[in-house]
């Protein structure tokens, strides 16, 4: 078997409306969720999103599990640490993302220069960590795999 690419991510969320707004309106994903049957206007307990590039049928699926769902464990644990979303190809585009986050009142949990990427870290409404990044121009990680293991430094945009 050979993995060709990471296809999609599925997250459980407490409140589908809140999370759909975050991923759609704040982060700019294209909501491709079908309208509810019967024209009720009430959102189904799922939401599907695709990047504007149209690379694949969907990249993110959210499933509502309700307000009484167990919270994500804190501290060192097994499981998802974060997922990365590429927001452009330059620090200017990363600055634009930062401005949007500030406009929406989304706090940063970190900003890191990884050598191969410049990254901003945030959490979604349910506490899932997200890395918003650009690949650092001029860093050739394909011919220099050691570049992936550069010591992280604070990012100053």
- 124 and 130 Cβ atoms separated by less than 8 Å: yes
CB environment 27-62: b (16+ within 10 A), e (fewer): bebebebeeeeeeeeeeeeebbbbeeeeeeebbbeb
Within 10 Å of residue 151's Cβ, how many Cβ atoms?
Answer: 7
pTM score over 0.85: yes
**Interval 16-43 mean pLDDT:** 88
Q: What are phi and psi of 112, to 5 degrees?
A: -135, 140
SS3 (DSSP) at 106: coil
Asked if the model's pLDDT at residue 43 lies above 90, the reply is no
Q: Give per-residue pLDDT as tens, 109-124.
A: 999 999 999 999 999 9
Asked if the model's pLDDT at residue 40 lies above 70, the reply is no
Paired residues of 48 in beta bridges:
61
**pLDDT tier for residue 68 given thresholds of 50, 70 and 90:** very high
Asked if the model's pLDDT at residue 44 lies above 90, the reply is no
């Amino acid at each position: 078997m050979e993995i060709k690419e990471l296809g999609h991510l599925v997250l459980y969320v407490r409140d589908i409306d809140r999370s759909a707004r975050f991923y759609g309106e704040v982060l700019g994903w294209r909501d491709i969720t079908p309208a509810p049957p019967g024209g009720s206007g009430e959102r189904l307990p799922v939401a599907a999103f695709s990047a504007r590039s149209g690379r694949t049928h969907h990249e993110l699926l959210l499933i509502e599990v309700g307000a009484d769902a167990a919270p994500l464990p804190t501290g060192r644990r097994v499981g998802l640490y974060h997922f990365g979303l590429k927001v452009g190809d330059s620090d200017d585009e990363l600055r634009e993302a930062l401005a949007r986050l500030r406009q929406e009142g989304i706090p940063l949990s970190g900003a890191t220069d990884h050598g191969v990427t410049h990254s901003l870290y945030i959490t979604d409404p349910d506490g899932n960590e997200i890395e918003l990044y650009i690949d650092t121009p001029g860093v050739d990680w394909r011919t220099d795999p050691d570049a992936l293991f550069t010591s992280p430094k604070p990012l100053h945009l």
